[in-house]
Amino acid sequence: MRSLVLLCVVFALSDGITRLSLERGKKLREILREKGLLHRFLQNHRYDIGTKFPHAFPDVLTVVTEPLLNTLDMEYYGTISIGTPPQDFTVVFDTGSSNLWVPSVSCTSPACQSHQMFNPSQSSTYKSTGQNLSIHYGTGDMEGFVGCDTVTIASLMDTNQLFGLSTSEPGQFFVYVEFDGILGLGYPSLAADGITPVFDNMVNESLLEQNLFSVYLSRETVGSMVIFGGVDESYFTGSINWIPVSYQGYWQISVDSITVNEQEIACSGGCQAIIDTGTSLVAGPASDISDIQSAVGANQNVYGEYKVNCSHVLAMPDVVFVIGGVQYPVPALAYTEQNDQRTCMSSFQNSSADLWILGDVFIRVYYSVFDRANNRVGLAKAI
pLDDT per position as a tens digit, 325-380: 999 999 999 999 987 667 899 999 998 888 999 999 999 999 999 999 999 999 99
Out of 73, 158, 200, 276, pick the active-site residue.
276
CA diameter of the chain: 68
- Domains detected in the chain: 8-52 (no CATH), 64-228 (2.40.70.10), 233-382 (2.40.70.10)
pLDDT of the residue at 11: 30
Please state, in angstroms and rounded to a whole number, the distance separating the CA atoms of residues 82 and 163: 10
Annotated catalytic residue, options 73, 94, 158, 371: 94
Give the pLDDT of residue 327.
Answer: 98
From CA 250, how far away is CA 351, in angstroms rounded? 16
Taking the C-alpha atoms of residue 189 and residue 233, their distance in angstroms, rounded to an integer, is 30
Per cent of the chain over pLDDT 70 is 84
Most confident range (mean pLDDT) of 57-71, 243-257, 340-354 is 243-257
Mean pLDDT computed over 205-224: 93
pLDDT of residue 52: 31
pLDDT digits (tens, 9 = 90+) for 111-168: 999 899 999 999 999 999 999 999 988 778 899 999 999 999 998 999 999 999 999 9
Is 276 designated active site? yes
Cβ–Cβ < 8 Å for 226, 66: yes
Contact 336, 281 (CB under 8 A): no
Residue 360 annotated among the catalytic residues of the structure: no
- Is 22 a residue whose pLDDT tops 70? no
Instruction: Give the pLDDT band of residue 16 (cuts 50, 70, 90).
Output: very low
Counting other chains too, the contacts that 198-201 makes at CB distance below 8 Å and 24 or more residues apart are 198/100, 198/151, 198/153, 198/158, 198/161, 198/163, 199/228, 199/372, 201/158, 201/160, 201/161
> Mind listing the pLDDT tens digit for each residue in 308-336?
988 899 999 999 999 999 999 999 999 99
pLDDT of residue 13: 33
Q: State the pLDDT confidence band at 172, using cuts at 50, 70 and 90.
A: confident
- When the pLDDT of each residue in the chain is averaged and rounded to a whole number, the result is 85
Q: Smallest Cα–Cα separation from 328: which of 286, 356, 300?
A: 356
Q: How far is residue 103's CA from residue 112's CA, in Å, rounded to a whole number?
A: 6
